Structure 1
Amino acid sequence: MEKNYLTKHRQLTLLIGLHGLAMSNAVADDIDLSHSLTVDGHYLNTDDDDAFDWNGLYQFDLSHTLNERLTLNGGAFLATTNHPSAVIGDRQGFSNIESSDPLALTAFNLTYRNDDTRVLVGAFDENSEFAGVNVAGNFLNSSMGYSPTLTHFISYPEAATGLVIDSKLSANASIKAAYLTRELSFGDQQHLNAEFEWQPNAGSRIVAGLSDGHWYGVGETRLVRMEAWDWHGFLQWGDNNRYADFQRHLGMGIVVNSTTNDLSFGLATTAAKTQRDVTEQVWELYARWQVTDSIALQPDVQWITSDHDVVVTGSDYPDDDVAVTMRMVLTW
């Protein structure tokens, strides 16, 4: 991952400053501060070899309401990882909290809202603004709910810098556009993104997006409500033959949530084809238990298959890997 536009020293200074601002105003009604600590323990099986690894991520976010129209938002994370994805060589990323930088900004922006329009200026997580699947947030694989054809998106897990305009066209339709930039070693990079969203009903949404000349789509809906359970389904698609490592992507899944919000289950698959015509498919199954208001436990199993060795090295056998994760999340 490329270094963010802030140096790490400035990131740390801003991190401490944002946290100090929030703590000094913690009693104010217009300050919202949240913390989360995520710890993953991994068991990996690849080529009949076993390995154990782990990831850790601390993140805080704050929101300061300046007036009825303006809000100041900030956030940052601290991460520690041994990059377990490198152990099994998966390309879509079975862990969604790996980071090459131990410290980074996730948000520092000013947001303006009126009845029909939202304008955001500053640094923000682009993945939270575009192309995401709302019900897929508990999947651990980086491509579940977010297309890897958009790997040229410049933020995750650090912040993009730019301008976002989000406007309602009607009660069921909205359009969103963004201009973004970051600093790279060979110069600045800018790109444009636009997205149209239609909500046919309260439990469904259809998204069509265009990012630097290539298309992506998202669809999700409530399938059925059975006694104490809500069943949701999602579909995602992406195509990019110019910039990203992945040319095509297709993902789909089912998420089941208890109406009390203390239990959740998910089953999904994601398949992506790279520029070298290597196809990788992942099946993922998770169960999440909200033990208390502050503690959640989530076992997760992923089966990862790839024809990389067949296509690249001429092997007669595809790669088959298994990643088993126990995730614990603390929030306060």
Structure 2
Amino acid sequence: MKAFLQGSFCAVLLAPAAFAADPFTPHLTYNTALISNLSGGTKAGTVGVGSAHLQLLADGGALFGADGLTAFADGLFTHGGAPDALIGDAQGVSNIAAPPGAKLYEAWVQYAHGRFSVLAGRYDLNSEFYRLSSAQLFLNSSFGIGPEYAQSGVAGPSIYPDTSLALRLTYKPADNMVLRAAVIDDRPPEQSGPDGPLLIGEFAWLQRPSASMPPGESHNRVGRNAGLPAYDNKLALGGWYDTKGSPDQSTPGVNRHAAGAYFILDHLLWSGDSSKLAGFLQTGVADGRAGRFGFYLGAGLNAVGLIPGRPNDEIGLAFARAESGAHFRTLQQSLPGLASRDAELSFETTYLAQINDWFALQPDLQWVQNPGTAKGHALVFQLEAELSF
């Protein structure tokens, strides 16, 4: 089976050449990183991780004359070790680390017309919900989606590396407003066991440069791959509810219907001719009985083009604080010999060097205080490389 999956993925890597013209748009990205725990944590050491996405977007208008219809597929291959085993942290210092294997990551069909969009299929909810552009620079997993939500439920929500089937609706009441809602299976198709629907909704306000659209175009396009220019400012408020829930963290045999809410903000603080500075804030709360984390707060700065002659390089500084839920804290404090703390706090500083159009290098340093909400620290360095075609 392993040889089959590896061989199949190698064969899939050759697909872009066969679909390199309309109506198909292929895209291949590969990220790999060496991650070293320099001090503290569970033990010193270095592991390598990697993640490859082979994506194919099909245009229904060019294929069938069905304007507004698109189909998308994303094959995922992951390999490497487990950096969290060295560090002992809970938030995850790497956003590409995952159990080795190959799988279908996303496969959906979307129809967009006017201010409406509907999408159905296998779907990563973090591609649209709980998402900030400025935070995407950072490598700690919490800057993708807060741990109070990412680590909820039995199997977690439909995010990397395990996605589920979903139905997502989007409506734009105005050019700068977006309403999203989705019903998502709370367990991936490959996992056995009872499942149920996970509900999520979000309201977002976005401000995009008015001069960035071609004459005659408007910002009312909506949905995945809408082709809109990058926003300057974003504010969003969302909420979620897992109807199946998860076991109580401190009471065996008791199930809780997990729920939570989040607030995110991305703001352009300063811009020059070829440089800019943005700041972001993300915070979320969850039922402290059902999930490991009951409160999360993260914030950071992202600077682009500050180095002369390097207009696409990015520099960032951020922190992420994940606070244990009340019932998990009770459970952890009952363990003999464990000096527990209320929260895990991570500081990250990073630099993304865009070498050319298809290759980037990113050295990254993280200080983790109280890894896994146990007393201690860890100092982690990683060097990540990305190839994109």
Q: TM-score range by the shorter chain?
A: 0.7 to 0.9
Q: Write the distance in 2 (CA, Å) between the matches of 1:177 and 1:13.
A: 38
SS in 2 for 1:199: strand
Opposite residue 62 of structure 1, the aligned amino acid is: L
Q: Write the distance in 2 (CA, Å) between the matches of 1:300 and 1:219.
A: 23
Q: Deviations over 1:70-104 (max 9, x none)?
A: 11100011111210111110100001111125112
Q: 2:362 aligns with which of 278, 283, 298?
A: 298
**Higher fraction of strand:** 1
Opposite residue 78 of structure 1, the aligned amino acid is: F
Q: Are 1:204 and 2:254 counterparts?
A: no
More divergent stretch after superposition (226-235 vs 107-116): 226-235
Q: Write the distance in 2 (CA, Å) between the matches of 1:81 and 1:138.
A: 22
Distance 1:309 1:107, change over 3 A: closer
Normalising by structure 2, we get a TM-score of 0.75
Q: Deviations over 1:81-136 (max 9, x none)?
A: 21011111010000111112511222111010112011101111111121011121
Distance 1:23 1:58, change over 3 A: same
SS in 1 for 2:126: helix
CA RMSD, Structure 1 to Structure 2 (Å): 2.6
Q: Note the 1:266-285 alignment, pairs <5 A.
A: 266-275=316-325, 276-277=328-329, 278-285=342-349
Q: Write the distance in 1 (CA, Å) between the matches of 2:71 and 2:11.
A: 14
Q: Write the distance in 2 (CA, Å) between the matches of 1:9 and 1:69.
A: 39
Match of 2:216 in 1: none
Match of 2:168 in 1: 164
Q: Which runs of 5+ in 1 are unaligned?
A: 1-6, 311-317
Match of 1:223 in 2: 269
Distance 1:225 1:105, change over 3 A: same
Match of 1:129 in 2: 128
Match of 2:153 in 1: none
Q: 1:288 aligns with which of 336, 347, 352?
A: 352
Q: CA deviation at 1:195?
A: 0.4
Q: If you compute each CA radius of gyration, which structure gives the higher value, 1 or 2? A: 2
Q: Write the distance in 1 (CA, Å) between the matches of 2:23 and 2:117.
A: 19
Q: Deviations over 1:216-266 (max 9, x none)?
A: 111001111134321000000110125432110000000001287521011
Distance 1:284 1:78, change over 3 A: same
Match of 2:31 in 1: 38
Q: Write the distance in 2 (CA, Å) between the matches of 1:135 and 1:60.
A: 24
Q: CA deviation at 1:162?
A: 1.3
Opposite residue 193 of structure 1, the aligned amino acid is: I
CA contact (8 A) 2:91 2:141 kept: yes
Q: Are 1:90 and 2:92 counterparts?
A: no
Q: Write the distance in 2 (CA, Å) between the matches of 1:293 and 1:234.
A: 26
Q: CA deviation at 1:200?
A: 4.8
Q: Are 1:153 and 2:200 counterparts?
A: no
Q: Deviations over 1:130-157 (max 9, x none)?
A: 1011121121100024211112313322
Q: CA deviation at 1:10?
A: 11
CA contact (8 A) 1:40 1:55 kept: yes
Q: CA deviation at 1:187?
A: 1.4
What number of residue pairs does the alignment pair up? 318
Opposite residue 255 of structure 1, the aligned amino acid is: N
Match of 2:177 in 1: 173
CA contact (8 A) 2:361 2:384 kept: yes
Q: Which runs of 5+ in 2 are unaligned?
A: 62-66, 151-155, 210-231, 242-258, 330-341
Normalising by structure 1, we get a TM-score of 0.88
Opposite residue 205 of structure 1, the aligned amino acid is: K
Distance 1:118 1:36, change over 3 A: same
Q: Are 1:54 and 2:61 counterparts?
A: no
